[in-house]
Amino acid sequence: MKKVYKANILYTKEKSRFEVVENGYVAVDADGRVTGVAGDLKSLGCEDAEVTDFGDCLLIPAMNDMHVHAPQYRNQAIAMDLELLPWLQNYTFPEEMKYADLDYAERMYRRFVRDQWRFGTMRSCVFGTIHTESTRLLMNIYREAGMGALVGKVGMNRHCPDGLSETVEEMVEGYETLINEELGKKKDDLVGLIVTPRFIPSCTPEMLRACGELAAKYQLPVQSHLSENMDEIAWVQKLEKKSSHYGDAYDRYGLFGQTPTVMAHCVWTKGEELELIKKRGVMVAHCPTSNFNVASGMAPVRQFLDEGVQVGLGSDISGGHDLIIFRMMVYAIQVSKMHYQQNHERAFLTLSEAFWMATKSGGSFFGRVGSFEPGYEFDALVIDDSPLNHDNYSLLERLERYIYLGDDRHIVHRFCRGKEIKEPRII
């Protein structure tokens, strides 16, 4: 039986413009997929349907976080005065070692998922740790919450503390244990595995090769980091001398679009690397706050969009200090304006482009997610922006004000694949 929701509906079919339906209706089937959006029930063929009326609220697609480190949640907004490599050694690695303790992992992971829920993020590409048990735990917490996630057991075996290193055989065994457990789950499960070599410097060639073989054998997606920091790029050049660029190093191991792939940052991506991203269909996860906080630079997102690269937004907790993807839209626009000051040949991002990256573009990594077009899964947020005093503003102006000024208190309902998601349990 269809469900019908009434509100002020805004979404992006394409990056250049919003679709706006004032006092409109969206119909959702029993599988949680949109069957249509219209200004009246007759056009939807739903004259007799029971309607849930959200009044003057805004109804928009839910947020997608394309790059986030769940075990770094406790370090959010700490050590923001360090660059990438010392930040990893002094703060990140010591915190991730704690996730060998399942009690600690559960306490932190539940708080992390609850905060994602608060801020309207219904789908995520998530880095866990090397620990198989805590990776399983995080996947089950997402399942319990009813939210979607691709969760990675991190692969790393060099240039890291002993407590965060495992052999290639241990990494493969851990993945295959989780994969075998996943075989008993429904094929349309909202939660799945994603192969996750941390980045080239943390993985020996044998580890990288094994990750590529896992992705190919089990047809799993891949996530990692790419061209984030100049020192990191120079390090990769020393480690992978046969590779022509950072992306080529991943490509040689089957980790660059051979299965669906998302690479975070790409701050310094250009030339042959950019061409390979386009050729392989690799998605870029743009993480503007992280790029600023760890002094990496400004990703050329306008160029990516102009050249047809698929781009999503990531919070990159805890290099980034903020889990709210709405704010990532704001920061992405601001970063593009800094690029514009340097090169007036490329326009800065528009609001619709930033919104599209956070919804339909990022959501495409999970399937038909991030829009209200027919056949798309109904991931949605209901926004009561009345406390923002929206008298005499257009619907687009109200949405823009919410993106810049709103917070989780204005999100009154959250949906993932058609099901309303209530606040997840914490301990």
Whether the pLDDT of residue 268 is over 90: the answer is yes
pLDDT score, position 187: 66
Q: Confidence class of residue 178 from pLDDT cuts 50, 70 and 90?
A: very high
Q: What is the pLDDT of residues 2-13, one digit of tens each?
A: 899 999 999 999
By percentage, how much of the chain surpasses pLDDT 90?
89
Strand partners, 32: none
The pTM score is 0.97
310-319: average pLDDT: 96
The candidate with the shortest Cα–Cα distance to 316, out of 384, 266, 368, is 266
Q: What is the pLDDT of residues 291-303, one digit of tens each?
A: 998 889 999 999 9
The candidate with the shortest Cα–Cα distance to 19, out of 392, 356, 377, is 356
Q: What is the pLDDT of residues 20-65, one digit of tens each?
A: 999 999 999 999 999 999 999 999 988 888 899 999 999 999 999 9
**Sheet of 148-152, strand order:** 63-69, 121-127, 148-152, 191-193
Whether the pLDDT of residue 186 is over 70: the answer is no
The candidate with the shortest Cα–Cα distance to 149, out of 98, 181, 109, 183, is 109
Q: What is the pLDDT of residues 373-401, one digit of tens each?
A: 999 999 999 999 999 987 899 999 999 99
Q: Which residue has the tokens 């743009």?
A: 286
Burial of 111 (0-12, 13-18, 19+ CB in 10 A): middle
